[in-house]
Amino acid sequence: MKLTIIGTGYVGLVTGTCFAEGGHTVICVDKDAEKVKMLQAGGMPIYEPGLEALVKENVRAGRLRFTASTQEGVEQSAVVFIAVPTPPMPDGSVDLSFIEVVSREIAGAMRAYTIVVDKSTVPVKTGEKVAETIKRYCKAKVDFDVVSNPEFLREGFAVDDFMKPDRVVIGVSSTRPVPAMKEIYAPYNAPIIVTDINSAELIKHAANSFLALKISYINAVSVLCELSGANVQEVAHGMGMDARIGRKFLDASLGFGGSCFPKDLSAFIRISESMGYKFGLLQEVQRINAEQMDRFVKKISDTLWVIKGKTLGVLGLAFKQNTDDVRMSPAIDLCQRLLKDGARLRVHDPQAMEKARPILPEATYVTDMDEVAEGCDALIIATEWPQFKKLDLERARKSLAHPIVFDGRNLFDVEEMERMGFLYKSIGRGKG
């Protein structure tokens, strides 16, 4: 099918590329002409494993192209996806101005029946507003349907998540767009849930908030593990064997971050509030997440006594593994706190150093992860990159002025680290 994606950010680029890979003919539209030029020239605005190769392959095959013209994109496809940002407002609610502008632009460009699909994460009832806006601004007075089709992509695994989704959610207000939506997703062999638009919009916020809740739950349990001398990984394993709970998203950490969970949680709390329900449970999820970082920083300062003047090595700047994204990164937050307390930092990340540099200009950036510990008073693990597990620990122990490791991601074995002579403090494992 011929598809147009408006917004070539993270979601739009992955969606457009993976639709093309599924055999559709895709036009990706972005108002940023520089970005369009970059993509046309084979450049990539983001790092996402596997994406660059897929973009190149599909451009070469003639199934994927980029343009700055919404008019062109809308005229050429009967199905138009909206994948523009919905950033948070200072009060935690969602800024829907990009969605509104794009709805008007689509309305102005429509010349025949069009299915307008919202992929951006939006508050429940946004679909109704999009439909109202299109109706108001559509001069050609053609028929259209609005569909809600939330994305569930994890950064770092987005291509895989798109090609092999757990489910595809399609929210509609009439049956007319359903066959086309099913045809679009047919190549991906996933269960398709057809529901009303409000439910589809709620599924996204409810799912992300639940995942964040799961992390905060295990992080709260990790506190009890430290107080009692238990091991949170053993507890998570035992809990996760219950199929009703599942082991995924039970990794205790220094807290969750990124461009989705913190934003979606705040938005969901605000949406509930605006509809007359105080979602206190989710406020507690936020509180536990903030406290988890406070506890980790306190662990560092209690051990080192004074942070001022210390040189600390930090492994990890991205908000999680397999991405160069540093938005709302717990690792960056940690670095900023340590710098504020007067530490000097030697930092490394396999992908995120360029994006971190303007945010943390004071830090020393080290290309080789095994050189980070050189002359440091302690080493800190802040992101769960799998390659950090292959760190040359013997070399790190010799390089450190004091063999102290703070592990915010539980990457190493406690007994092994202690046997090697480290003072090793992780999350929720024994009294460390």
**Residues designated catalytic:** 260
Could you say which of 81, 261, 296, 385 contacts ligand UDX (CB under 6 A)? 261
Helix residue spans in 22-96 (DSSP H)? 33-40, 51-60, 70-76
- Here the tokens at position 58 are 């599909």
Task: Say which residues have a Cβ less than 8 Å from residue 377's Cβ, sequence separation at least 6.
Answer: 304, 310, 311, 312, 400, 401, 402, 404
Count Cβ atoms below 10 Å from residue 281 Cβ, excluding itself: 11
Task: Provide, rounded to whole angstroms, the least separation between the CB of residue 211 and ligand UDX.
Answer: 6
Task: Provide, rounded to whole angstroms, the least separation between the CB of residue 156 and ligand UDX.
Answer: 7
- Under the binding rule (CB under 6 A), the answer on residue 159 touching ligand UDX is no
- Under the binding rule (CB under 6 A), the answer on residue 249 touching ligand UDX is yes
Could you say which of 83, 260, 347, 366 contacts ligand UDX (CB under 6 A)? 260
Cα within 13 Å of Cα(366), Cβ side: 18
Task: Indicate the residue among 331 and 376 with the shorter CB distance to ligand UDX.
Answer: 331
- Under the binding rule (CB under 6 A), the answer on residue 258 touching ligand UDX is yes
Could you say which of 197, 215, 307, 381 contacts ligand UDX (CB under 6 A)? 215
- Under the binding rule (CB under 6 A), the answer on residue 408 touching ligand UDX is no
Options 45-53, 222-230, 243-251, 342-350: segment touching ligand UDX (CB under 6 A): 243-251
Where in 361-390 is the site for ligand UDX (CB under 6 A)?
384
Q: Do residues 82 and 116 lie in contact, with contact meaning Cβ atoms separated by under 8 Å? A: yes
Task: Say which residues have a Cβ less than 8 Å from residue 278's Cβ, sequence separation at least 6.
Answer: 272
Where in 296-355 is the site for ligand UDX (CB under 6 A)?
319-320
Options 93-101, 152-160, 346-354, 386-394: segment touching ligand UDX (CB under 6 A): 152-160
Options 14-22, 181-189, 247-255, 336-344: segment touching ligand UDX (CB under 6 A): 247-255
d(Cα 93, Cα 95) in Å, to the nearest integer? 7
Task: Provide, rounded to whole angstroms, the least separation between the CB of residue 161 and ligand UDX.
Answer: 7
Count Cβ atoms below 10 Å from residue 197 Cβ, excluding itself: 23
Task: Indicate the residue among 144 and 385 with the shorter CB distance to ligand UDX.
Answer: 385
Helix residue spans in 305-392 (DSSP H)? 330-340, 353-356
- Here the tokens at position 337 are 């706190």
Q: Do residues 129 and 198 lie in contact, with contact meaning Cβ atoms separated by under 8 Å? A: no
Task: Provide, rounded to whole angstroms, the least separation between the CB of residue 83 and ligand UDX.
Answer: 12
Task: Indicate the residue among 73 and 408 with the shorter CB distance to ligand UDX.
Answer: 408
d(Cα 230, Cα 273) in Å, to the nearest integer? 38
